[in-house]
Structure 1
Amino acid sequence: MKWILYDIGGVLELVDDDRWPQMLEKSWSVRLGLTVEALRARLDAADLPDTTLQAGVEGEFWQKFAAALALDDAEVAAMRAQLWDAYCGEANVELLEHARSLRGRAGLAILSNSGDGAREEEERRFQLSSIFDPICYSHEQGVAKPDAGAYLTALGRMGARAEDVLFIDDNDAPARGAESCGIRAVLHRDNATTIAAIERFLAN
């Protein structure tokens, strides 16, 4: 069986992963009356857990975040909601619907660098598990793209051979990481081109 393996941010979600963290940082700085540098200094000193490679640490992250910035529960809740809105963006409806149409023709899976809490937030918004299985998150696997371990772990969970997988990502380094593991890759730039590449892969 052939598989299509998708990234999330910038592919299945319409979001600019290169810009939103900086935009959020600026918004929070204004909200708290701090410079960006002062905000960074407080958070750097807070010893926040790495949410990208660990599961079950989101609560600790926000507790330390609140203490570092002297926030009450309502302020933390508002800033947490703002972060997830920025992180998740909007659904790429066309690509999601195309993926759904492939059921029965190919296995459908996700490999995404992520933050602890992403599975719950993205499932609530986009119901990804109704289309994709497995969904491989870096914070749950403990390894992130472009490390070869991320792809090899995903292949194991898929029960797939590398040559039977097409990987789709909007960034060059993860795409090249997939190729180094023997997985064909498409650099996503627009839906029409990506969908055409998927259809060619499945036709051959």
Structure 2
Amino acid sequence: MTGERLVDAVVFDYGGVLTGPVRDTIAAWMESDGIDPESFTRTLRAWLSRGAPDGTPIHRLETGELSVEEFDALLAAELGTVDGRPVDPNGLLGRLFAGMRPDQAMYALAEELRDLGVRVALLSNSWGNAYPRERIDALLDPVVISGEVGLRKPQAPIYELTLDRLGLPAERVVFVDDAEPNVLGARAVGMRAVPHTDAGSTRAALAELVPDLPGRSPAG
């Protein structure tokens, strides 16, 4: 006998949740382009840390106010290379995300949840990266992407928009994200939230909320 189902929908982040770890993708790009890691870390901290002012280039990229080409130029100007060469801005974000690959175990988890009658959705901050729209549109509903709606995590309005599109109260929805600020942002509007590190631990956490979901992958 299974326990009571505590949620009616699971909302997934994209990069780092439905894909492999973003840090691995970034590390491969820095190695390939010869980027000085400290220059990237410094820029990321200035543009994305909790103490960063509103309206940084990353914020404006995520909300669609800044084009990919404009962001590429701004980011390239902040970065250095290990051998002192200038960073080529042309296609910079494309190269940064070139190594991003789907996490098949997470897609399988989303499919299992859907087959159990649980709504599955997407809420993602976009960095101009290409989404596999055919695959995610067929599986996830709604699909909320920051650059398309002019809002971004971890600010409350984008979570509230997602809840409105789901037509569910916050306490019946769980959000899965690999970034702590986004997890906290979901909790601040009343959603449940699961910090993601890997498919196995996320499955186990969701099985606590959806008792008819096996706690371990059928393939495992």
Change over 3 Å in CA distance of 1:4–1:59 after alignment to 2: same
User: Please, which of 148, 168, 172 is the counterpart of residue 176 of structure 2?
Assistant: 168
Q: Which residue of 1 aligns with 2:123?
A: 111
Rounded Cα–Cα distance in structure 2 between residues aligned with 1:133 and 1:100: 12
4+ residue runs of structure 1 moved beyond 6 angstroms?
A: 68-71
Superposition RMSD in Å = 3.5
- In 2, the alpha carbon distance for the partners of 1:181 and 1:80 equals 31
- Equivalents in 2 of 1:23, 1:98: separation in Å? 27
Does 2:106 align with 1:92? no
Query: By how many angstroms is 1:134 displaced?
Result: 1.1
Which sits farther off after the overlay, 19-28 or 145-154? Answer: 19-28
Structure 1's 70 and 192: CA in aligned 2 closer, same or farther, altered over 3 A? closer
More helix by share: 1
Indicate the residue corresponding to 2:52 in structure 1.
Answer: none
| Secondary structure, aligned partner of 1:168 | strand
TM-score for both structures, normalised by structure 1: 0.71
Deviation at 1:188, TM superposition (A): 1.2
Contact kept in structure 1, 2:151 and 2:157, CA below 8 Å: yes
When residues 143 and 81 of structure 1 are mapped into structure 2, their CA distance, relative to the original with a 3 A threshold, is closer
| Paired residues of 2:124 and 2:144 also in contact (CA < 8 A) | yes
**Unmatched 5+ stretches in structure 1:** 42-47
Report the Cα offset of residue 15 of structure 1. 2.4
TM-score by length of 2: 0.66
- Say which SS state the counterpart of residue 97 (structure 2) adopts: helix
- Structure 2 portions without partners, runs of 5+: 1-6, 44-56, 78-85, 213-220
Matched, 1:53 2:66: no
Counterpart of 1:83 in structure 2 is: 96
Partner of 2:153: 145
Residue of structure 2 equivalent to 1:7: 13
The residue identity in structure 1 corresponding to 2:12 is Y
The equivalent position to 1:187 in structure 2, one of 184, 190, 195, is 195
Of 8, 13, 16, the match for 2:22: 16
Alpha-carbon deviation of 1:191? 1.5
Q: Secondary structure at the match of 1:192?
A: helix
Q: Which residue of 2 aligns with 1:135?
A: 143
Q: Quote the sequence identity (%).
A: 28
Q: How far apart, in 2, do the equivalents of 1:114 and 1:70 lie? A: 22
Q: Matched residue of 1:195: which SS?
A: helix
Name the aligned partner's letter for residue 172 of structure 1: E
Structure 2 distance, partners of 1:189, 1:80, is: 24
